[in-house]
Structure 1
């Protein structure tokens, strides 16, 4: 139920213990009050019934037989004076048609059916199936005796009726005593109040114990919750500090084992991701798998306008023929490292290595980064050649071609082997531009599409080499420019 759906275990424990205590105490109070009420009522009835039976058998038969009504009235008055719980006392003479011959109060004398209780109560009292009966009823009017109010209208009473018989068993009259239940109700109320007081003390103690128990149980659970939140936030080195030897302590130990396993798994996963990013650039992953590399599928692609840079070593084939495979491997790694650093510094990323060739991409809106990368690559190459010359090794030269256009970035292959790639006419043009650097004897060539996309063209020294070049496999001519390997104002 929603109104019992408390958000915390502490509140749930306190509520459960409190409700249980309250229910138990309520049942105890109710049982105690009912038992006390029954015992008091039964005691009162037994006393009154015994007293009525004693009067009707010993005191009143002779007086009623002799019609000594004044003595009976005197005895009834004494009875009511000495017993404040008695509301009225009536003696009827069956020989006179059940006329009331003696009564306290005296106003009921000479009546047949008094107006103090319902008539059916009077009929039952005068026609007893046994020698006596007990009837619970209520008074129809206020009843006074000797100037004091004995019962108010509507007040609950018990009427005890007994036959008055002679020794030979002949019934000559009926004794009716009305006894107020108010003292019993007051005694029951007192018992109830005492029970409530005891129950209240028990209830308060129960709440205190429930609070202590809830803190004892919920505190380590809250500590585990905080620890789980810290681990979820990335603090995998955090451990829960719970030293209890109960089930919660065992849970904390299992929790710490789980966190250590998570830390180990996450560490391996992080290293795997870092290694994966070395094979597939992070910018590439962001484009083809924005929801994470675990969701990469074959055939996923996006269309982007990008700047493509191709770099190739001139005369690499003849140079590699004079080197062993091991020397080629070391040379390529040293060379690619110095070139890759220049590309990374200027915001580009390497899409792939094609033997000694480098294909790099720049996804900026302007082409300034690609031109800066080309300049830094030439400067890095100068340092690389200087180190090689000191070792007695031949220097190398590279050609760099840059173009800007629309490409498709995506994944190709099949389910067991997927590769990332960039395809499009712009890629082919950039490759062709790099290949003609040897023909024009230029280190860096860029197309007019690159020049038109510069945000700060004044920073670069660009010279028109050919305003209409038809590249191999292309029908339309393009203009190409030579880029000097320096920035004019020397800004990085």
Structure 2
């Protein structure tokens, strides 16, 4: 019962509101404390920098004349008047950075005081800036006393500001270092946090009261709406939820539920259209080979071995051409070009397996290879028309290479349960692709392998010329004969 009660919308609203308010309080406290801390630290830092610059200018003559006693008196007075100053040193550059004046007095004559980490001392002494003082936030390595009073505890955070003491010729005489305690800053931050917590506590109580009232007003209509949704989910698409308040979100939700019920009926009719659109991504011929039972039976790993004719087509110098075009220009160009080539393939009885950038991989599931050769010739004809339209617009023409091979392939699906894709793999696919890639070396538009020639049902219709009777393609051990296909059929020649 307790679990069921916690799952009620009233309890969830109360819990969510409480967590939200607590989150807001935490954010307010964090931002408040951080902003106040930054403000106080910046104020301390600015005061320290100004003090350091003024004192370094004041002590220029004394340090130049080695009037260290006067500097020590002034530093002692500074420590008495400013309780936030934990320590102050003046080191002489000419004496290898020996501390010639300082307060507390115990650090006088030292070179590297053990009051702060060594890296802070190095930064103060060896860094140089004639424009502004150098500041760093650090901590004390030991307790620091001024007279009989404790000025800083070990581990206490301080801001050290270092300023160069310059002579008349802007030559560095020494370094003034002042350590300012952040104790008052921490106290101010704690006060800011306490104020923020008080404001948050008041807001939490007000929020809980409002959340309880809101949860009570929302729980009843939501429960009734839940029952209506369950009835629709059970198949009663004619049911409509009662609308009590049209102006609020619950009423809007009830209206949406009713619209959903009507939309479900429309969705069933759209589902059939979606299945038809699926064929545009995966050709029906492909599906019929690997899944004769239907699209809904397709799974990862389904495959079928088949002897097919593979055609590869690729635009020459596409990379250099695309570099001179914007992405949208490339997109529009590819759509126009692929539509032109796809029409030729479709009219010749083939189907496109995939687009690989500008490349096209087409398959012909016929016993003879005549359709693939006709498609290649028709693609060249359509490309001429495509180039003519481009030349009318003052756009350079394009050329393509086409490679055709026939052999055994494996058609199937790859991927995993959430994302599958159709593919065709096999050595024959690689050969067709490499035939296309060497068309530019043989200066041929269309190259076909000897396996394509042997499978022609009407070889007399095509103009074929032996290009190389024994060529080894990249990655292949066996040599094959390749032929050039003229871009016109013999019976079409005048």
TM band (smaller chain): 0.3 to 0.5
User: Please, what TM-score do these two structures have when normalized by structure 2?
Assistant: 0.46
Larger gyration radius, structure 1 or structure 2: 1
User: Please, what TM-score do these two structures have when normalized by structure 1?
Assistant: 0.46
